Amino acid sequence: MALETLIESLPSLFDGLVVTLLLTAFSIILGTALGVVLATGRSYASRPIAYLILIYEKILRGIPLLVLLFLIYFGLPQIGINMDPFTAAVVGLGLRSSAYQAQIYRGAINSIPEGQIHAAFSLGMNKLKAIRHVIIPQMLRLSIPGWSNEFTILLKDTSLAFGIGVIELMRQGRYIQVRDPDLILIVFLLIALIYFVMVFIANKTLRYIEKKYQMAGYQMEVHR
Amino acid sequence: MSMLEVKDIYKSYGDVQILKGVSFIMEKEETKVIIGPSGTGKSTLLRCINQLSPPDKGQIWLDGEEITNRKTNINKIREKIGFVFQDFNLFNHLTALRNVSIGLEKVKKIEKDAARKRAMQELTRVGLEAQVSQYPAQLSGGQKQRVGIARALAMDPDVILFDEPTSALDPELIGDVLDVMKSLCGKVAMLIVTHEMGFARNVANEIIFMEGGVIVEQGSPKEMFTNAKMKRTQEFLGRIGALYGEEETGG
């Protein structure tokens, strides 16, 4: 009976959810770390390096994620680079996210007054210290809204890892559907709901963090 | 040997020549005030001294070390040159206390507790012991500038450069900042660009009058205000005096 199949399948959906969350976590960490480096490099490194970063960003923002995942998982083995599907998905999602996050951070850097870095230099900080202690902390605070947006996009886009065989939420849903094709509507509605709830919780949590780490002068409230 | 020697400094931005050969010397603990019309290169001169905008030509010596030499580690030199900005430039993400201690912690590598204790002392010195845990956005302009001065003082600099420190302040708040600066006279060398003539007159050991990228005249406040040699200096001081009244602020 369909309902029984569905109930029996719930644990597998849960397994898929765990994989989706792990994919999201690893990818956002990679994307954030790399994004911060790219953005500061683009703004403060020498011209050739800044230009290379620009090209990197343009390429990664210019190709569809599924194409990128296929290139990494199916393409790279041809030149001897082999990855399991999960790793390939983290690399693809993380790199793509880094390019978008770099944009977010660069916007934030551009809105930091030039005097901040002048003041840092005047205390005897070198460029690296000034970036680390003055620019990056302000940049991250200013980036929270953009980063929250990117986080939820990434969370939803982990579903594309389905395409290279990662057994995440979508793939588990597909297995259930194969077992009982009549469940297709209900299963994917359920999966849609799970994504929706995750995004909802993520947004609420990030909003809370944003408020908690808010400081005078950095409020981004709109006064109506 | 003087503490600070500025020799024949030239600086252009694009086609516009801002400084056209500026030279002067400063001794330890001296208070020198630079006055002159806007757009004369006074601020540019200060930025040349701490190399925020390195001069095109000329030399600057601090304690016998040529800081315009490319081989000099400019970061080490900047530890010895405090800078107080017109628009404060406090670190927006840090409390007043951390604004003052960050240089000690991250540049001088002083242990956190000691650095913050020192920062506390400097903030007390400028009368802000009650504001230590406030962020710049929570402070008034005058308080911000006093944090800026404390931040410079904490580094134990040889000289502090003040770039129009009161120009962005309400008239009411200017006095607090000038009082703090006056209290530093004779304790640390100060090179001050300002339009506060009363302050210049009462506090400076020497006044430099700049116009058109050169030093027109320099001398003691008494000489400059009562007995200036150059006609241009007389005109400038006369007009400023008429505008603001002789015994204005800082007196």
Q: Which residues contact A221 (CB under 8 A, 6 or more apart)?
A: none
- Which of B77, B92, B100 to probe by mutation at the A interface, max A CB count within 10 Å? B92
Backbone angles phi, psi at B34, to 5 degrees: -105, 125
Nearest to A138 among B93, B137, B152 (CB): B93
pLDDT at site A6: 82
Q: Does A98 reside within a domain?
A: yes
Q: Does A220 reside within a domain?
A: no
Sign of the CA dihedral running A139, A145, A151, A157: negative
**In chain A, how many domains are there?**
1
Q: Report, as an integer, the average pLDDT of A174-180.
A: 91
Contacts of B52 in chain A (CB under 8 A): 118, 121-122
Q: Does A133 reside within a domain?
A: no
pLDDT at site B172: 84
Which residues of chain B fall below pLDDT 70?
243-251
Q: What is the pLDDT of residues A31-66, one digit of tens each?
A: 999 999 999 999 999 999 999 999 999 999 999 999
Nearest CA in chain A to B151: A123
Q: What is the pLDDT of residues A60-109, one digit of tens each?
A: 999 999 999 999 999 999 999 999 999 999 999 999 999 999 999 999 99
Q: How far does Cα A74 stand from its chain's mean position? A: 22
Contacts of B77 in chain A (CB under 8 A): 124
pLDDT at site A211: 83
pLDDT at site A186: 92
Q: How many helices (H) and strands (E) does chain A have?
A: 9, 0
The bridge status of strand B65-66 relative to strand B57-62 is: antiparallel
Q: Report, as an integer, the average pLDDT of A115-137.
A: 96
How close B44 comes to chain A (CA, Å)?
A: 13
Instruction: Determine the structural domain holding residue A70 and report its residue range.
Output: 2-112+145-212
Q: Does B150 reside within a domain?
A: yes
Measured in residues, chain B has a length of: 251
**In chain B, how many domains are there?**
1
Instruction: Determine the structural domain holding residue B115 and report its residue range.
Output: 90-156
Contacts of A142 in chain B (CB under 8 A): none
pLDDT at site A157: 97
Q: Does A106 reside within a domain?
A: yes
pLDDT at site A216: 67
Q: Does A51 reside within a domain?
A: yes
pLDDT at site B65: 92
Q: Does B245 reside within a domain?
A: no
Q: Does A224 reside within a domain?
A: no
Would the CB atoms of A218 and B106 count as touching at under 8 Å?
A: no
Would the CB atoms of A122 and B93 count as touching at under 8 Å?
A: no
Q: Does B31 reside within a domain?
A: no
Q: Does B240 reside within a domain?
A: no
Residues B187-215 as b or e (16 or more Cβ within 10 Å = b)? ebbbbbbbbbbbbbbbbbbbbbbbbebeb
Q: What is the pTM of this model?
A: 0.88
Give the CATH number of the domain where residue A187 resides: 1.10.3720.10
Is residue A136 over pLDDT 70?
Answer: yes
Contacts of A218 in chain B (CB under 8 A): 92-93, 137
Q: Does A35 reside within a domain?
A: yes
Q: Does B202 reside within a domain?
A: no
Is residue A219 over pLDDT 80?
Answer: no
Q: Does B204 reside within a domain?
A: no
- Cβ-based burial of B237 (10 A; exposed 0-12, middle 13-18, buried ≥19): buried
Q: Does A221 reside within a domain?
A: no
pLDDT at site B66: 94
Contacts of B155 in chain A (CB under 8 A): 123-124
Q: Report, as an integer, the average pLDDT of A164-168.
A: 96
Q: How many CB pairs under 8 A join A and B?
A: 77
pLDDT at site A217: 66
Would the CB atoms of B135 and A217 count as touching at under 8 Å?
A: yes
